[in-house]
Amino acid sequence: MSFPGDDDDWGSAYADFVSANEPKAALAEEPEEESYGVADDGGGFADDGGDAFGGGAGDGGDAFGGGGEEAYDYAAANYEELPDGVQRIDLVQMQRPFDGAVVAMERAGIAFARTAKRSLPFLLRYRAALTPTQVEVVAGDYEPPLSEGPTFAVYLGAAGGVRAILHLNTEAVVLVLEGALGASGSGFEVQLPPTLSGAQRAVLGRVVSTLAADFIQGLRDAAGLHLQVLGNEPPILPASARTGELVVCACYVEGLEFQPCFTLVCSASPLETSARNAESRRPQKGDPRMRDALVEVPVDVIAELGRVQIDLRRLMALKVGDVIRLPGAMDDPVVVRVSGEAKFHGVPKISRGQLAIEITARHDR
């Protein structure tokens, strides 16, 4: 089939045809293999197996708007700033496997910070306060942060490989030593020799032993976990006890020029189990509406002045004016019964011209 005219006439006619029928011509074109739409280097759909919209396969992007770097910049540029006081929900943290252990350690840390005021009475003199920080779950090979000077630790444990540590950094060692010796709180000499003397370790041992007792009591109240002091040297533990996560709560002393830190550490898995068992044993709070409804239920309260036995002949002979003597004096206590059960003891009184009973004690069964 031929067209009139030379090659120039054919080219002009084809250009006019494409211009008049551009949408149809575009659809009529055969797409390239494994492409979607018209492929180009920068816009439109990806070509040659590209996974990104708006970029070729060579970009390697998996997101809208271009390659990997462009997508990251786009996300950063469009990250919405939240108003002050509003925090994002961390769904990963909401599903932590040691939620019970974290909550128990938080409670133990708060209790430790409160009761440690008795073991560290000089904090009041320095106008300083012990404040626990957020609890963290760390690997089993965790070690407290290194300090430039000497540190002090008390190791705790229990059956089943439970381990716990109360660790004092160098600043906390200085605070305990200076405070126990009556320092004023200003101009503390933070520098200590690399090794503590015997007298210094004795002072620290006496004070820190009471702090360890506070830590033990806090874990007992929070999770029902019973620990005992093992000493100031790391105990030799079985391999099973040296693995597993730990929960850590750092308690800092605020109000001083340096930062003493008392770090609380405990095995996460045993603490989690103990916390869940303790939670299941706690009495569940009832519906307050049921309590409010019960207080409106009427009950019979009887003040029993005395009891006497008489035969049937005398009972049938009783008439108005007869007197029945009771086995008791006027000031003897009487029994108060609630719904037929003896609950209280009382004595007869006169109140506003009426006979009354004054409750004096509960009835012991």
Cα separation of 66 and 340, whole Å? 85
Burial class (CB in 10 A: 0-12, 13-18, 19+), 160: exposed
Residue given tokens 């059956």 in the structure block: 159
Mean pLDDT of the chain: 75
Q: What is the pLDDT of residue 71?
A: 44
CA atoms of 306 and 125, how far apart (whole Å): 64
Q: Name the CATH superfamily for 298-362.
A: SpoA-like (2.30.330.10)
Whether 52 has a pLDDT exceeding 60, the answer reads: no
Give tens-digit pLDDT for 204-253. 999 999 999 999 999 999 998 889 998 888 777 656 555 678 999 999 99
Cβ contact 165:265 at 8 Å: yes
> pLDDT value at position 9?
54
Q: Among 8-17, 48-57, 187-196, 326-335, which is the least confidently predicted range?
A: 48-57
Sorting pLDDT into bands at 50, 70 and 90, what band is 19? low
3-state helix, strand, coil split of the chain in percent (to 5) is 35, 20, 45
Locus of tokens 């009487």: 334
DSSP string covering 97-156 = TTHHHHHHHHHHHHHHHHHHHHH-THHHHHT-EEEE---EEE-TT--PPP-SS--EEEEE
The whole-number pLDDT of residue 187 equals 54
- Tokens describing residue 143: 């070690």
Domain ranges of the chain: 1-30, 32-79, 94-281, 298-362
In the numeric block, the tokens 């032993």 are attached to 209
C-alpha 107/C-alpha 155 separation (Å) is 20
pLDDT tens for 177-211 read: 888 877 665 556 656 778 888 888 998 999 999 99
For residue 219, count other CB atoms closer than 10 A to its CB. Answer: 27
| Residue linked to tokens 């006019």 | 16
CB distance 364 to 342 below 8 Å: no
Question: What's the number of CA atoms in the CB half-sphere (13 Å) around residue 329?
Answer: 2
pTM, to two decimals: 0.52
Place of tokens 């003891």: 345
Residue 27 pLDDT greater than 50, yes or no: no
How is the beta sheet containing 301-304 ordered, strand by strand?
301-304, 334-338, 341-351, 354-362
- pLDDT value of residue 14: 53
The secondary element (H helix, E strand) that includes residue 129 is: strand 129-132
Does the pLDDT of residue 79 top 60, yes or no? no
Q: In the predicted model, what is the mean pLDDT of residues 29-33?
A: 50
Task: Residue 120: count other Cβ atoms within 10 Å of its Cβ.
Answer: 23
Tokens of 7: 């090659």
d(C-alpha 130, C-alpha 119), whole Å: 12
Query: In the prediction, which pLDDT does 113 show?
Result: 92
- Range of lowest pLDDT (93-97, 254-258, 336-340): 93-97
pLDDT at 83 over 70: no
How far apart are alpha carbons 312 and 161 in whole angstroms?
76
- Count the neighbouring beta carbons within 10 Å of the beta carbon of residue 208: 25
Rounded to whole angstroms, the Cα distance separating 156 from 95 reads: 29
For 94-281, the fitting CATH number among 3.40.1550.10, 3.40.50.720, 1.10.3720.10, 3.20.20.210 is: 3.40.1550.10
pLDDT score recorded for residue 306: 83
